[in-house]
Amino acid sequence: MADAHAAGQTILVVGGGISGLTTAVEAAETGYNVLLVEKDPQLGGRVAQHNKYFPKLCSPVCGLEINFQRIKNNPRIRYLTLSEVEEIQGSEGNYTVRIRKNPRFVTEACTGCGDCAAVCTTEVADPFNFGLNKVKAIRNNHAMAFPSWYYMDPAYAKTDEAKQVAKICPAGAIQPDMEASVIEEQVAAVVWATGWKPYDAEKILPYGFGQYANVTTNMRFERLASVYGPTGGKIIRPSDGKEAKSVAFIQCAGSRDHNYLPFCSRVCCLASMKQATYVRDQYPDSKVTVFYIDLRAMDRYESFLQKTREDANISWIKSKPARIEEDANGNPVVIGENTLTGERYAMPFDLVVLATGMEPHSAVDAKVPSDQASHDEYGFVTGGVLAAGCAAAPTDVASSVQSATAMAMKAIHAAVKRG
């Protein structure tokens, strides 16, 4: 049982995506203190960038909102944004961690009124929307983002204009001279929930992403379909703003491929099925084509595949396309061999979406202590430390939440055992 001392212990959760949020909430609601450290300005991770969730096709905003409320209302959870773990010393039950807090240039007094962004004249490519649009150098990811305090780009903070903008803030929340700080904390257990990043599609040369405007990626497509996204949710193609009514999805783009990522990311088949419904729902006269090696509706998602299969305007071609070219009208032309018929095809589309996979953050840049953690050959954490969600394996939200809950339990064990 958690005695008073153990319950006074703190559990550190690194990463504020759906996995980190879950571990934090579960551990705190059981009575433990939690310190949640997120490197980005706002919480939610990749899920915050999704338009809808498979299989229910509801908005991820509500799922996140519930977690944000639980965090807000729980005094046991402290969260730090724009922060990264720099160093961890000690052992289970008794770690000393050094955390670097990067400046937000906006304090918690911010009411989210947006007066600052209205007068800011500097625009930058929006990282939240993968650079598909421009945003102000002082901003919020979107209206539902949490914490709702605005943040300012470091380069902009150095400008004279930033000082002027600070003066107009009615809450007096803007501080362009804010500096980074380093804090030290004692924690009993650490859970890594550093998640994943989309595989860099420019590396897949035969598909011409980065070269052809109308070849995009699945994560960009999530933003394109989102009402908070660059087009307000209109699915149009980047080159000329034409409505994208004939859309192709290429599965395993850079996945299950020894030239790129050798493993299966497990969610991109389902993500494309979900995204096919975005197109079909928006334009009743649209046609969607999915190119695949084999369709992997893992876990209990077979019924979702069956549902999308019922739509006669979604065609399925068993083939990993060999390459993409562009025709005179800017249409990407997908070239390959239909492996069921043996026929060679060259099919033009308005827009091609590359279903790229997940690369782990952990081994590459999350500073998971390498002397303690073991990784598989791709960088997912396999043991030695506690890892939740996609830091441990590429997977969907439901299994991320399961693994995050399990990690909360393991972290509590560590706190109790060594506390």
Partner 1 sequence: MAYDLSFAKDVYNKSEMGHWIKMCMQCGVCAGSCPLRAHWQHSPRQLFQMVRAGKRDEVLKSSDMWMCTSCYNCIVRCPRELPITHIIHGLARYAETEKAVDPMQPTRRFAVEVFWKNITATGRVGEAMLTMRLYFQDGIGAGIQRGLEMRDSALGMLKTRRLNPIPFRGKIKGYDGFTKMLAKAAELEAKLENKA
Ligand X SMILES: Cc1cc2nc3c(=O)[nH]c(=O)nc-3n(C[C@H](O)[C@H](O)[C@H](O)COP(=O)(O)OP(=O)(O)OC[C@H]3O[C@@H](n4cnc5c(N)ncnc54)[C@H](O)[C@@H]3O)c2cc1C
Query: Which residues lie near partner 1 (CB under 8 A)?
Result: 206, 252, 256-259, 293, 318-323, 335-339, 342, 344
Q: Footprint of ligand SF4 on residues 147-206 (CB under 6 A)?
A: none
Q: Please state the closest distance from residue 254 (CB atom) to partner 1, in A.
A: 9
Displacement of CA 58 from its chain's centroid (Å): 17
Per DSSP (E only), the strands in 215-312 are 215-217, 246-253, 287-292
Q: Closer to ligand X at the Cβ: 162 or 268?
A: 268
Among 355, 368, 387, 390, contact with ligand SF4 (rule: CB under 6 A): 355
CA-nearest of 187, 8, 194 to 90 is 187
Pick from partner 1, ligand X, ligand SF4, none: which does 238 bind, CB < 5 to 8 A by kind?
Answer: none
Q: Closer to partner 1 at the Cβ: 111 or 259?
A: 259
Q: Closer to partner 1 at the Cβ: 238 or 254?
A: 254
Q: What is the Cα–Cα distance from 183 to 415, expressed in whole angstroms?
A: 21
Q: Please state the closest distance from residue 54 (CB atom) to partner 1, in A.
A: 24
Give the x/- contact pattern for ligand SF4 in 19-58, rule: CB under 6 A.
----------------------------------------
Q: Closer to ligand X at the Cβ: 165 or 392?
A: 392
Q: Closer to ligand SF4 at the Cβ: 227 or 340?
A: 340
SS (H, E, C) 1-63: CCCHHHHCCEEEEECCEHHHHHHHHHHHHCCCEEEEECCCCCCEHHHHHCCCECCCCECHHHH
Pick from ligand SF4, ligand X, partner 1, none: which does 266 bind, CB < 5 to 8 A by kind?
Answer: ligand SF4
CA-nearest of 301, 299, 86, 49 to 197 is 49
Q: Where along the sequence are the contacts to ligand X (CB under 6 A)?
A: 14-20, 37-40, 45-47, 50, 53-54, 84, 193-196, 218-219, 222, 267-268, 271, 274, 358, 361, 366-367, 389-390, 395-398, 400
Task: Tell the burial category of 196 from Cβ atoms under 10 Å away from its Cβ (0-12, 13-18, 19+).
Answer: buried
Checking phi first, is residue 390 left (phi over 0); if not, alpha (psi -120 to 50) or beta?
alpha
For residues 191 and 23, the answer to whether their CB atoms sit within 8 Å is yes
Q: Which two tokens stand for residue 93?
A: 């039950």
Q: Please state the closest distance from residue 264 (CB atom) to ligand SF4, in A.
A: 3
Residue 377: DSSP 8-state: T
Pick from ligand X, ligand SF4, partner 1, none: which does 259 bind, CB < 5 to 8 A by kind?
Answer: partner 1
Pick from ligand X, partner 1, ligand SF4, none: which does 419 bind, CB < 5 to 8 A by kind?
Answer: none
Per DSSP (E only), the strands in 53-199 are 77-80, 83-91, 94-101, 123-125, 134-136, 138-139, 151-152, 181-187, 189-192, 196-198
Residue 126, C-beta contacts closer than 8 angstroms, at least 6 positions apart:
132, 133, 134, 135, 230
Q: Please state the closest distance from residue 265 (CB atom) to ligand SF4, in A.
A: 5
Give the x/- contact pattern for ligand SF4 in 272-311, rule: CB under 6 A.
------------------------x---------------
Distances from the Cα of 23 to the Cα of 18, 20, 50, 101, angstroms: 9, 5, 21, 21
Pick from ligand X, partner 1, ligand SF4, none: which does 396 bind, CB < 5 to 8 A by kind?
Answer: ligand X
**Residue 140 carries which side chain, given as an amino acid letter?**
N
Q: Closer to ligand SF4 at the Cβ: 39 or 266?
A: 266
The C-alpha angle 380, 382, 383, rounded to 5 degrees, equals 135
Per DSSP (E only), the strands in 240-322 are 246-253, 287-292, 314-318
Q: Please state the closest distance from residue 328 (CB atom) to partner 1, in A.
A: 21
Q: Please state the closest distance from residue 279 (CB atom) to ligand SF4, in A.
A: 17
Q: Footprint of ligand SF4 on residues 251-270 (CB under 6 A)?
A: 251-252, 255-256, 264-269
- Chain positions contacting ligand SF4, by CB under 6 A: 251-252, 255-256, 264-269, 296, 355, 357
